[in-house]
Amino acid sequence: MRKLWYTMKYKQLKKIIPVFSILLALALQIFIPNSPLHPQSKPYFTYVLIGFLTVYLILYLISFVRTSIDKMLVYRGAFIGGVVLFFNILNLLTAKAALLPVLYFPSLDRVFGVIAEQTDVLAKCVLYSARLLFFGIVFGALAGFTTGICLGFSKTVSYWLSPVIRIIGPIPSTAWIPLVLIAFPTAVSASAFLVGVAVWFPTTIMTSSGISNVQNAYFEVSRTLGASHRYQIFRVGIPAAMPHMFLGLFNGICSSFITLVTAEMIGAKYGIGWYINWQKEMLSYANVYAGLIIIAVLFSVLITLLFRFRDKILVWQKGVIKW
């Protein structure tokens, strides 16, 4: 009974860590004056902290009714507290004490200020980038799966194509720019192609290696069960290679993020990569960091969605393959 009481108290303590961390950050932010070296700005960091505190307190209240939220807060409590502490220290080092070079390390007030004040430009950039990523990833992945499947199943295709792919695949995307500019009618299609190539290469490699790694016994048993060649490809080879294909897609999407900045170098009007590049040249690092925060959020949402999707279609591989 006593022990149970202690573990319960311990649990509540873990859940309350972020609240203390946020309150500490708020107190320091409000009571320590900003260094005069930093340009004046509205206290956006205070707003962010207050907003975050509100959201957390709402979750905290819900956690007494919902066990899933409760578990998440108990588990994540220390981490969230730590992240807030990190921003707190960063705030002290920049805005409060100006210990870091002011030009390269703008105050958090200004970084969040960019997101708050330039919302429409940033939103437009996000939409443009999302469109580019969407077309690039869809076409790149489709092309990658197709090439990978052909490579995996056909000896002839493998003989002719795999050396070519080995040469073309690792070419950095910047090297394509001159060629792509001539070959594609619009800047958007050219950029989408660059993103597509970035997705295509890892998808192809992982798909074909996934198919060549399928146990021969699966094909043999399917033949004794009366499966045609076509049926073997689509109902045995591809499902068996699915985890590898997914890994390829995952790698591809990661490299597409990296390529995005390059792709937006060609005649882009908007785009988050273009925005960061442009602001970097203007030496406005507050805007660069704001762009980076947006990219990080955007990509982690995309990756989370991808994992959800994988868990849904690859239920069977739990307990078979782990990655």
Partner 1 sequence: MVGSITVEGVRKTFTTADGDTVHALNGVDLQINAGEFVTLIGPSGCGKSTLLRLIAGLDFPDSGTLALDGKKITGPDCERGFMFQNHTLFPWLNIYDNVAFSLRARGIYKEKKDDVAEYIRLVGLEGFEKSFPHQLSGGMCQRASLARALVGHPKVLLLDEPLGALDAFTRMNIQDEILRIHREHGMTMIMVTHDVDEAVYLADRVVIMSARPAKIEKIVPIELGHPRARSSQDFLAYRAEILRRLHFGGKVPDVEYYL
> Where does this chain bind partner 1 (CB under 8 A)?
215, 217-218, 220-228, 231, 235-236, 239-240, 242, 314-320
Nearer to partner 1, 67 or 216 (CB): 216
Residue 157, helix vs strand vs coil: helix
What is the spatial distance between Cα 203 and Cα 201, in angstroms, rounded to a whole number?
5
Nearer to partner 1, 68 or 224 (CB): 224
- The least CB distance from residue 72 to partner 1, in Å, is 27
Q: Are 291 and 272 in contact (CB under 8 A)?
A: yes
Nearer to partner 1, 220 or 311 (CB): 220
What is the spatial distance between Cα 301 and Cα 159, in angstroms, rounded to a whole number?
39
- What angle in degrees, to the nearest 10, is found between the helix axes of 44-62 and 2-31? 160
- The least CB distance from residue 222 to partner 1, in Å, is 7
Nearer to partner 1, 1 or 320 (CB): 320
Nearer to partner 1, 184 or 218 (CB): 218
Q: Name which of 195, 209, 312, 313 is nearest 254 in CA terms.
A: 195
Largest CA distance in the chain: 81
64 — phi, psi (to 5°)?
Answer: -80, -15
Q: Name which of 238, 206, 230 is nearest 141 in CA terms.
A: 206
- The least CB distance from residue 307 to partner 1, in Å, is 18
- The least CB distance from residue 142 to partner 1, in Å, is 21
Other Cβ atoms within 10 Å of 213 Cβ, number: 11
Nearer to partner 1, 5 or 323 (CB): 323
- The least CB distance from residue 234 to partner 1, in Å, is 11
- The least CB distance from residue 226 to partner 1, in Å, is 3
Residue 105 amino acid letter: F
